[in-house]
Amino acid sequence: MIRPEAPYREPELTMKLLQQASERYRQDVDFLLFGTTLDDPGFAALPRSFPWKLAGVLNQKQVARLMNEVDVFVDFSSHQAMGLTAMEAMACGVAVIVPQRGGAACFARHEENCLIVDTLSPEACWKALQRLVEDHALRARLQKNALIDLCDYYPERPAFNILSALFD
């Protein structure tokens, strides 16, 4: 997910890491970006000298469809609000990397259903990305566990918890 208009999403760091992965893994990886358009001046200013495809700005159903086509989703944001895109990816059986700061903490379990990374460290981000590309067993385990674990998160659950807290 590349959102040049949101600096906390770290679009430059993300594109640099994807470019590094492209150089290292060449034909072994494909990059499918979303969250922006080709005519976005912020996107044009980012590092883009590697092969990629752009799906554009997507609605919720389109994101779910896209997540069913990928193996890995990375979020190198400096922080997250709720981590809903990562949650959507995990619910689709995708291995994810999420930032340690933010909303993913309520559903993300490092090394069990995702990789949690200190996104203030480009080196830590790179190592996590390398692991998901190179370690097929880890990737498969995270994908399986993510799919299972995210079944416990459904829209009615937070509403029920709020009502229980208010009226118990």
Is 13 part of a structural domain of the chain? Answer: yes
pLDDT category at 162 given cuts 50, 70, 90 is: confident
2 located within any domain:
no
Number of domains in the chain: 1
The burial of 94, by beta-carbon neighbours within 10 Å (0-12 exposed, 13-18 middle, 19 or more buried), is given as buried
Per the domain annotation, does 68 fall within a domain?
Answer: yes
Count other C-beta atoms under 10 Å from residue 41's C-beta. 8
Question: Is 1 a domain residue?
Answer: no
Q: What contacts 26, CB < 8 A, 6 or more positions away?
A: none
**108 within domain boundaries:** yes
Question: What is the per-residue pLDDT across 42-92, written as a single tens digit (0 to 9) for each?
Answer: 999 999 999 999 999 999 999 999 999 999 999 999 998 888 899 999 999
Q: Tell the residue number behind the tokens 């029920």, with chain if given.
A: 160
* Number of Cβ atoms within 10 Å of the Cβ of 55: 15
pLDDT class for 155, splitting at 50, 70, 90? low
H or E segment to which residue 15 belongs? helix 11-25
Give the domain extent around 102. Answer: 7-167
The model's pTM is 0.90
Residue 112 lies in a domain: yes
List the CATH number of the domain containing 31. Answer: 3.40.50.2000
Q: Is 90 exceeded by the pLDDT of residue 133?
A: yes
Is residue 53 situated within a structural domain? yes
